[in-house]
Chain A
């Protein structure tokens, strides 16, 4: 409910600016105009097609990043040799923006899905990896001690105590990974995608000065991001770390 109030206020502010006459209506279309464009694009199915393309690329890249981040993060936390080898690599690669790789990936793999998915993968990997790695190191040693005293060791100690103990970090990692992936995919589509996707729509519409199409696409990007952030990750947190009292709930 409060979320609706925040969103409504922002919309009213935008509408006032759009109607003020300070900018050309073609560049700053009113909300009804954007809504009309969005509606017709939804009706003829083009927006859904673009959104599905974008989502497929995000999930391909995110899935790879989650698997890689979890496995390597857990290995780094568990084996000193793995940590020693990968920790400098992580420090060196993490600060490079994923979009800086776009021209390189395009050169290697051409325009299209491979380059786009790789950019998403690159963006999402580090939050997942670093959070998993830190999360395991932050596990309360008392849990491990108690579990060992009860006969836990090896893989069972790891899966039954260390991984759930690290779950607040791992879930935060997943959340950040999705955010980074979602941001990266739009940029990647502008540079590396050839025909479809919400990012490509914005870039393509720029050529024809179709501000209403650009903004419609932005609305869809924001809406999908919102749904994932609030509903998907919100529910995941409520079903796990919030229910277990391992983190405090956000106040909105």
Chain B
């Protein structure tokens, strides 16, 4: 899998009220197969940063490397999962959604359906291969979106609060499932969230960001054995540590 290197990245907009920096001088890296969470309050530029890694936005300065090569625009070396359930194509079944990226790579139909079905099995939805997205629950739709982003085998998976719109119980189930998917696929994952417990549950390292302008405040390693117990003392201590970094920046 591919490492990701974010080096002194700034994104600034010129507005009538002057120059606004959404992200200022952000640097962090994700090693090959590492799970990195970006945590911060809204307006801290975490989604903007992810969109730059995805290639939707171009940094004003600094550079982003994926597997050593600088990012320019979008590419199939990265898979992306958004928060909005509407990201799936409603006119395609779950299987056809997952097969889309392979279709764009001109993989033959039987082969791409075979791979797509494998991906659906990974997120435990093989029984729903023929269902249209509107017949699936929010959690199932997000699982299809994960399978879709993995199907064309990108080295890096980028996730923008994929479970934020789900109810608490489904969200926990999804987190467990994602941890398994990551263990099996060994993708490098960069995962944006505002949920501290989620970051501690999933991440090897957490990038804490603070707003106005969006900067990297602190990078915290989570050295807990997996699968993680969200009720253990160590887990809660990590949560406290992250919360302390987040609140301190609000006072500052």
**Number of chain B interface residues as a range:** 20 to 34
- Least CB distance, A244 to chain B, in whole angstroms: 5
- Using known A-B contacts A142-B86, A151-B76, determine if residue A164 contacts B148 with beta carbons closer than 8 Å: no
Chain B residues with Cβ below 8 Å from A143 are 86-87, 89
Bound Cα distance A165, B87 (Å): 12
Of the candidates B87, B91, B133, the one whose C-beta lies within 8 Å of that of A142 is: B87
Is B121 engaged at the interface, CB distance under 8 Å to the other chain?
no
Chain B residues with Cβ below 8 Å from A152 are 100, 104
Chain B residues with Cβ below 8 Å from A148 are 74
Is A1 engaged at the interface, CB distance under 8 Å to the other chain?
no
Bound Cα distance A165, B90 (Å): 8
Instruction: Find out whether the CB atom of B82 lies under 8 angstroms from the CB atom of A244.
Output: no
- Least CB distance, A16 to chain B, in whole angstroms: 46
Instruction: Find out whether the CB atom of A142 lies under 8 angstroms from the CB atom of B82.
Output: yes
Instruction: Give the contacts of B98-116 with A (CB-CB under 8 A).
Output: 100-101, 103-105
Instruction: Find out whether the CB atom of B54 lies under 8 angstroms from the CB atom of A149.
Output: yes
Is B2 engaged at the interface, CB distance under 8 Å to the other chain?
no
Instruction: Find out whether the CB atom of B134 lies under 8 angstroms from the CB atom of A245.
Output: yes
A140 (CB) vs chain B CBs: closest residue: B86
Instruction: Give the contacts of A201-252 with B (CB-CB under 8 A).
Output: 240, 243-246
Instruction: Find out whether the CB atom of A244 lies under 8 angstroms from the CB atom of B101.
Output: no
Chain B residues with Cβ below 8 Å from A160 are 100, 103
Is B132 engaged at the interface, CB distance under 8 Å to the other chain?
yes
Instruction: Find out whether the CB atom of A240 lies under 8 angstroms from the CB atom of B91.
Output: yes
Is B78 engaged at the interface, CB distance under 8 Å to the other chain?
yes
Bound Cα distance A245, B74 (Å): 29
Instruction: Find out whether the CB atom of A150 lies under 8 angstroms from the CB atom of B133.
Output: no
Interface string of B33-64 (1 = CB under 8 A from A): 00000000000000000000011100000000
Chain A residues with Cβ below 8 Å from B78 are 149
Question: Number of contacting residues on A, CB 8 A?
Answer: 22
Bound Cα distance A183, B3 (Å): 64
Is A78 engaged at the interface, CB distance under 8 Å to the other chain?
no
- Least CB distance, A238 to chain B, in whole angstroms: 13
Instruction: Find out whether the CB atom of B104 lies under 8 angstroms from the CB atom of A156.
Output: yes
- Least CB distance, B55 to chain A, in whole angstroms: 8
Of A149, A152, A165, A245, chain B has the most CB atoms within 10 Å of the CB of: A149
Of the candidates B54, B91, B104, the one whose C-beta lies within 8 Å of that of A244 is: B91
Is A26 engaged at the interface, CB distance under 8 Å to the other chain?
no
Instruction: Find out whether the CB atom of A245 lies under 8 angstroms from the CB atom of B104.
Output: no
Instruction: Find out whether the CB atom of A150 lies under 8 angstroms from the CB atom of B89.
Output: no
Is B21 engaged at the interface, CB distance under 8 Å to the other chain?
no
* 9 tightest Cβ-Cβ pairs between the two chains A and B: A245-B134, A150-B101, A151-B104, A164-B91, A151-B76, A244-B90, A244-B91, A149-B80, A152-B104
18 contacting pairs across A/B (C-beta < 8 A) = A142-B84, A142-B86, A146-B82, A147-B100, A149-B79, A150-B100, A150-B148, A150-B152, A151-B75, A151-B76, A151-B101, A152-B100, A160-B103, A164-B89, A240-B91, A243-B132, A244-B132, A245-B135
Q: A140-B86, A244-B132 are in contact. List 16 more A-B contacts (CB 8 A).
A: A143-B89, A145-B82, A147-B104, A148-B74, A149-B76, A150-B101, A150-B104, A151-B76, A152-B104, A161-B89, A164-B89, A243-B132, A244-B90, A244-B91, A244-B134, A246-B90
